[in-house]
Chains A and B, each alone.
Chain A
Amino acid sequence: MTFLSPGYLWLAPVALVPLALHLWGRRGAPRRAFSDVALLRAAAGAWYHPDRWRHVLLLILRTALAAALVLFLAGPIRRPAGGGPVGGSAWVLLDASYSMGAAEVGRSVFESARARAREILDGLPPGARAGVLLFSDRVESVLPPTADRGALRRFLDAAAPTHRPTDVGAALSALPKERAGSAEPWTVYVVSDMAAHGWRSARPSLPDGNTRWALCEVGTDYSNGALTEARGLWDPSTARVRGSLSVRSWGPLGRPERGWSVAVAGERPVTGRVALVGGPGEATFASPPVRSPVLTVAARVDPDPLPEDDVFYAVVPRRDPPSFLIVNGSPNLSPVSDEAHYLQPVLEAWEKDGARVRTAWPGEISDAVLAGIDAVALLNVGSLPAPAWTALETFVRRGGGLWITAGDQWSAAAVPSFAPFRAGPPVDVDDGAAPALSSAPFGSFGAGPDVDWSDLRVRRSVGVEPGPGAAVLLRGRPSGRALLVAGPVGDGRVALWATSIDRDWTGAPASPLFPVLCRDVFSYLARAEAASAPVPETVGGVWTGRRSGAVAALLRRPDGRSERLTGRAGEFRAGPLELPGFYRLQFPSGGETVFAVNASRDAEEGNPARVPRDVPERWFGPGRTVWIGAGDDLSRTLAGSPLRPLLRSGLLVLFVLETLMLFSRRVR
C-alpha cells in the first residue's frame, strides 16, 4: 500500500479530532441529578442513544469519516501482484515536464514521483541493474543501467522538473537505443502524473516482448487555469501599452473567474478579473503611462496548484511615430515635374498619425540634420558632397533608412558606395511592373495576385545590379529590369527606386498603388512596419539577433546569472534557453535587447486530466502493463469525472459540519 499524494497524510491527526471532541465532551458535560432518567432515556432514544456501545460506534463512524477524508485526499493505492522487476533489472522513466511541478500538500508532484522512483530502486534485488531516464517532451538526461545504488540516488537527487511539455513517446522512443545490446528481461517503470497530454504522440516503437511495463501514477486531481497568451501594442499617443490576455481553465469545479495582473516595464501592475464560464476567457488591459524604452509585459493570473502556466512574459516593441527627411534634388514649379509633389499627400496622411516630415536641401545633410530622423528620401538628388555621404552612411549603419529615387539629375555618383547594389545609366523602356512576391517584405506588395500592377507603367529607368543581401522587390515587365531594390546596410536599410518619383519617367504616381507603395517603402526603411504581437520564445529555443559592430554581449538570465556571448558576423545566438522570464542582452557599446521566454504553452499542457487506461495499454499491449498507482482504486476510476471532486468536497463538508456540530454541543 502506498499513496498518490502522501503529503496529505500529514492531515492524519485530523482523524483524532472526533475522538478528542468525544473525550472532551465526556469530561466536560455538566452532570445533573435527575428523578426520571427512564423517561429521559425513552425520549433520547431517537436522538442520542445512551448505550455505550452505540456511542463507541458513533465515535468510530466519525473517526472513520475523518480518516476516509484524509485517505481520499492522499489517494491510497495498492501494489499489484507481479509488479516487481522481471529478471531483476529495471528502467525508471521519470517525468520532468512542467505539469510535474504542480503543488500538493507539503511538496510537489515531482517530489512525490522522485520518492516513488527511489522506492522502486530500493526495492530491486541486490545486484540488479537499473537505469533512469529523465524526460519531458525530449530526453533530458539519462543514467545508464548500473548496480551502483549510490549513483542512482545521486542522479535522482539532482533531477528537477523542467519547463517543457510532456511527451512520453519521446522517452519511450529513446529507450531501445539506451537498451541496445541488452538481451536480459527488463521492467520499465514510467513514473508520471499520467496527464493525458503526454500520450498524444503516435505509438512509438517499443522494445521487444521481453519487457514489462509498470505505470506509476503520482499526484492528485486538481483544477488548473493557465495564462495561454499575453499580447500588447505600444500606443504612442498615450504612452501606454494596450493588450489582451487569454486564460483557460481545466478540470471540474474550476473557478468561474480568475484574477489577473499585468505589470509593464516593472511599473505598478494593473489588475482585473476574467470570467471563465463556458470556455476560455479574454481580458484587455491598458497600462499606466510608461517611460521606459523597454516594454516588458509580465502577466499573471491568480495562483493555483500548477504555477508554471500562471505567468506569461512578453516584450512589446516600442514604435514611436517615424520621422522623415525629404531631400528634393529637383524642385519644380510644375507639379508633374516636382519630385515631391506626388509624395506629399502620402506624407500628409502619415503626419495625421503622428509622423514628422522635414525637408532639406542636398547641401544641408549633416549629422545634426539627420539626428532624430528614421528615414531619408533622396529624390532625384544626383550627387552629394562627400561629407553628406559620410553622414548618410553613418546614419544608415546605425539603423536609419535611405531611399534613393532616380530622375533627370541621375549620375553614377547618385548611388553611394555603401549601398548594397550598383546602378547604371538610365535607358528608355516600356515596362509594366511585376512584384517579386517571393522577396517582398511589404504587406501591401505581397497582397497577392489580385493586385493589378498593369497600370504602373515605366518609360525610363536606370539599370540596377543588386549586391549581396539586396533583393529586387519590383521588376519591369517584360524587360525584367529591376525597378525597386532594397537591402540592409549595417543596422539600417537602403532602397533604390530605379525610375523617377514624379511623372517624368513613369506613370506610377497616377496609379492607386503609388501611395501604398510609398508608405510601405518608408515603413520598411524606418523599421516602422505595423507593430505586431511578438511571438515569444518558449523554453528550449535559441534566440538569434543581429547587432552590427558588436562582437561581444552579456546575456543576463531571469535567475540573475550572466553569460558572455560572442557574436559572429554581427549575429548573436543565445540558448537553448531553459528558464522562463526576461533575458537581457547588453552590448558593451551601449544598447540593450530584451526578449521574453515562456514555459511551453502547448494548448493542452495545462490540462491535468489523466490518460484513459486503454491508451497506454494499447501502446504496451494487453497483459504487459501493470498499473502501480491508482490503477485499480476508486480515485483512479473516478479520475476525470466530476464525481471525484464532488465526493471529495462532500466528504470535506460532511466532516466540517459534523465536527462543528459536535464542537458546538460540547461548548454549550
Chain B
Amino acid sequence: MSLDSRWWARLAPLALRARARVDGAFAGRHRGRSSGVSGDFVGHRAYTPSDDWRHVDWTVYARTDRWTVRETQADAPLRATLLLDASGSMAFAAEGRRPKIDHAAQLLSAIAHVVLRQGDACALGLLGVGLRSFLPPRSGAAARPRLLSLLESPTAAGPADLGRALREVAPRLPRRGLVLLASDFFPALEGWMPVLREWAARGREIIAFQILDPAELSLAGRGVLEFQDLETDHRLAVDVDGVARRYARLAADRQRRLSEAFAALGADFQTFRTDRPLDAALVHYLRQRDARA
C-alpha cells in the first residue's frame, strides 16, 4: 500500500505530537517526563506549524526573519507503536470498495511516515488471535522501508481476540508513549478495553482508528441473504428488510459505546469509512488534534 506523491505533499506539513509526556534518552519534539519546559540547548531547527509557539526562538526570528524552534535536552523523542488488527473481519469490503485492512494499512503507513519524518521512533504490530508479528521501534530513514513493506500487503484472516493480542503486545511497549490502534473494534468491548484502560493508566496515550465499511453501519441488499462470518465461517440467513432497521440501531449503539469508552480513557477515537477519501480524513484529524494540543 504505497503512498503516492500527492499523499506526501499533503502530509509534509503535518506532525503527530504526543499529548502525554514521553520517555526517551534522545532528543525529540515531545515533552519529556522531567519538569520544566526548557532544558540544555541542543540546537535550532525550522519551525513547523505543529510546533509549540512557545518554543520559537524570537531572537533568531528577529535577526533572520525566520521561524526557528529552540530545542532543548528536556524534549524527548516519541515512540509510537502502530497496532493493526489483521483479523478476518478486517478483510470485509462491500462491493466496489477496498477491504478495511487495506484502508487501515494505508492509514498507518501515513502515520508512520509522519512519525519517522519528525524523527521519532515507530514500532508496528499485527494483531490476530494474538500478536501475529511485531517490528520493534526504529527511527530514521532506514526504518521506513521495512515498516512500510510490512504494511504494503497485510493479510486479514482468522478469528479475532483483540484482548489477548493487546496483552501480548504490552511487554513490548515503552513505559510511556503513543499507541495507535487501527481496528474495527467489533470484538466485545469487555475483552480488550480493560487492557487499554491499564495502558492509559500507565500514562500511555492511545489513539484508536476505527475502520468501517458503510455496509457495516447499515445493511446493504434486500430480501433473504445468507451471511457468512469472515472470522468463524458461521452462516446466518436473514431477511435484510426485516432486520435492517434494528441492525442500524444496534450499530449506532455500539459506536456510541465505543466513543464513550475511549473518551473515558482520554483517548482519541476516530472513525474512517472506506467509502470516503482517507487522505482528507487523516489530514483533518491531524490538524484537529494539533489544534487541540
Residues of A within 8 A of B (CB): 25-26, 29-44, 46-48, 50, 665-668
Contacts and interface: CB of A to CB of B under 8 A. Distances in A.
Contact of A39 (B100, B186, B228, B232): B186
Interface of B: 88-92, 100, 184, 186, 213, 216, 219, 221-232, 234-239, 241-243, 246-247, 249-251, 254
Given A29-B224, A48-B243, 13 more contacts: A25-B237, A29-B225, A31-B226, A35-B91, A37-B232, A38-B229, A40-B238, A43-B243, A48-B238, A50-B236, A50-B237, A668-B222, A668-B241
Nearest to B254: A39
A48 B242 CA distance: 8
Nearest to B242: A47
Contacts of B251: 39
A249 B111 CA distance: 86
B230 A35 contact: yes
- By secondary structure, the B interface counts as mixed
Contacts of A47: 238-239, 242-243, 246
A667 B241 CA distance: 13
Contacts of B234: 37
Contact of A35 (B216, B222, B226, B247): B216
Nearest to A36: B186
Contacts of B226: 29-32
A593 B90 CA distance: 97
A41 B236 contact: yes
A48 B232 CA distance: 20
20 contacts: A30-B225, A32-B227, A33-B91, A34-B92, A35-B89, A35-B186, A35-B216, A36-B89, A37-B236, A38-B186, A40-B243, A43-B246, A44-B238, A44-B242, A44-B243, A47-B238, A47-B239, A48-B224, A48-B238, A667-B223
A37 B251 CA distance: 12
A386 to B, nearest CB: 104
Contacts of B249: 43
Nearest to A42: B250
A48 B239 CA distance: 7
Given A38-B186, A44-B243, A32 B250 contact: no
A48 B237 contact: yes
B109 to A, nearest CB: 22
B54 to A, nearest CB: 45
A46 B232 CA distance: 22
A46 B235 CA distance: 17
B286 to A, nearest CB: 27
B239 A665 contact: yes
B99 to A, nearest CB: 10
B228 A31 contact: yes
A47 B184 CA distance: 26
A44 B246 CA distance: 8
A299 B227 CA distance: 64
A32 B242 contact: no
Contacts of A30: 221, 225-226
Contacts of A43: 238, 243, 246-247, 249-250
B224 A25 contact: yes
A460 to B, nearest CB: 107
A338 B227 CA distance: 114
B89 to A, nearest CB: 4
In this complex, the member of A32, A46, A667 whose beta carbon has the largest number of chain B beta carbons within 10 angstroms is A32
B223 A665 contact: yes
Contacts of A50: 236-238
A132 to B, nearest CB: 58
B230 A33 contact: yes
A37 B232 CA distance: 9
A243 B6 CA distance: 97
Q: Specify which of A33, A34, A43 lies most central, judged by the most chain B CB atoms within 10 Å of its CB.
A: A34
B235 A31 contact: yes
Contact of A40 (B232, B236, B254): B236
A34 B228 contact: yes
Nearest to B227: A34
A48 B227 CA distance: 13
Nearest to A665: B224
A39 to B, nearest CB: 6
A666 B232 CA distance: 26
B198 to A, nearest CB: 25
B243 A34 contact: no
A29 B223 CA distance: 8
Contacts of B238: 40, 43-44, 47-48, 50
A32 B224 CA distance: 11
B239 A40 contact: no
Nearest to B246: A43
Contact of B228 (A33, A38, A41, A668): A33
A668 B223 contact: yes
Residue in B236, B246, B254 whose Cβ sees the most chain A Cβ within 10 Å: B236
A47 B228 CA distance: 18
Contacts of B241: 668
A270 B100 CA distance: 76
A47 B250 CA distance: 14
B85 to A, nearest CB: 11
> Which of A26, A43, A47 has most B Cβ within 10 Å?
A43
A29 B250 contact: no
Contacts of A37: 227-229, 232, 234, 236
B228 A35 contact: no
A60 B39 CA distance: 80
Contact of B213 (A26, A32, A35, A44): A35
